[in-house]
Structure 1
Amino acid sequence: MSKQRVVIFSGGELHPKYIQELQPGDFIIGADKGALFLIRHGIKPDLAVGDFDSISSQELEYVRSKAGKIVECDPIDKNLTDTELAFEMAIREQPEFILLIGGTGTRMDHTLANVQMLNRGLQHHISCAMMDRNNYITMTGSRLEVQDRGYKYVSLLPMTPEVTGITLEGFQYPLTNATLKIGESLGISNVLLSSIGLVSVEGGLLLVIQSND
């Protein structure tokens, strides 16, 4: 039986308020120091993964003693980042939804790689999102309900050379059968008019970012 949600805590920007995002029944994965963060806040991850080069040997022993299961890899001889390894394991759980927390931070290369991973979820017919204190990021190639999560803006960015047939309902600036190309800013800083807006896409992949300043 597939799981409803998998929540990954990675090693980027983390805050205690993110613990509130967890729901009963979530399968929880801690990637590298994300696992330590969870345990220190009273949450036992079902799975801890990574090379754990961001924590001390004593902290790693603590994680080993508290995690439900741990998968360790060599920090040099590996092809995946800790977050991607956690994401791959999340996909294996066949959930309906994957939420990545701690996937953004000071490393822009890691942040962009994590954003691109959202497409991996779509390829497996799994809805995915990333969040931090200022952003909630998801991706669609078909139809998406955008819920009011307390963010001020909703921006649309192409993830393929162009995205066609974009139609927006319930937004301050509607679109009908529009096309966005990479490098264009037409989709930046829209606003929801009610609790839910609808985004429809006919071709390509569209990044939907809810954000605050």
Structure 2
Amino acid sequence: MGTFTILLGGELIRTPRLERQIEGSRVIAADAGIGHARMLGLMPELWVGDFDSVPADLPDDLAAVPRKVFPAEKDMTDGELAIAEALRRGATSLVLAGAFGGKRADHAFLHLALAVRLAEAGTTVLLTSGAQEGAPILPGKAASFDYANGTLFSVLGFSDLSGLTVTGAKWPLDRVEVAFGSSLTISNEVKGRLGIALERGRALLLAHPYPLPES
């Protein structure tokens, strides 16, 4: 089995779509991410981290999950350590559950950037909070997505983007150049079958499969 779900410490809600995405996968928890296991009905095969953020009142079965303990002063986050362990165990596809939000914006940014790097190395990666999803966009590899009409999405550039094409959208793009830091590709909407292609650069699709809560 090549798909692993990595339970991270960010925000996570249970949805039917998330249940389908993680069904049948192997599971590794990263420190506080173990708290999501009970909500999702999952039993991790491993719990990784420095254990400085262990949730209170864990049930006995989760508290007994095998642990791989690291010192607090280390050069990798608990999430990256959990991902590395999944790759050592043969992961070819990763679902990073709880990749957004939480108390640490730096960790959330790392998950986005790390997902792009992992995809470039050949690993399929999905980032999710249940309410929003992220997927790396690789140059030279057109991708399509199964989002319903009206789904809000953005293309986040991690560099200057060259030859960006977006189809099946309210505002399509045809081989455009997008400067790093531009807001051109923020807040688009799906209209048909969403397709994205990129000639050069590093980017990530961020989509909201469910309606955003009213502010």
The alignment's TM-score, normalised by the length of structure 2, stands at: 0.83
Match of 1:84 in 2: 80
Gaps of 5+ in 2: none
Question: C-alpha separation between the residues in 2 aligned to 1:132 and 1:23?
Answer: 12
Match of 1:97 in 2: 93
Question: C-alpha separation between the residues in 2 aligned to 1:56 and 1:157?
Answer: 32
Match of 1:10 in 2: 8
Over the matched positions of the two proteins, sequence identity in percent amounts to 24
Match of 1:192 in 2: 190
Greater CA drift, 109-118 or 30-39: 30-39
One-letter amino acid matched to 1:155: S
Aligned-pair CA distance for 1:49: 0.6
Aligned-pair CA distance for 1:81: 0.8
CA-based RMSD of the aligned residues comes to 2.6
Do the aligned residues in 2 keep the contact of 1:91 with 1:121 (CA within 8 Å)? Answer: no
- Aligned 1:1-213 pairs, distance under 5 A: 3-17=1-15, 20-21=19-20, 23-39=22-38, 42-55=41-54, 59=58, 63=62, 65=64, 67=65, 69-76=66-73, 78-104=74-100, 105-142=102-139, 143-148=142-147, 152-160=151-159, 162-194=160-192, 196-211=193-208, 212-213=211-212
Q: 1:155 to 1:57 in 2, by over 3 A?
A: closer
Gaps of 5+ in 1: none
Question: C-alpha separation between the residues in 2 aligned to 1:166 and 1:114?
Answer: 23
Length, aligned pairs only: 206
Question: C-alpha separation between the residues in 2 aligned to 1:91 and 1:150?
Answer: 35
Aligned-pair CA distance for 1:177: 1.1
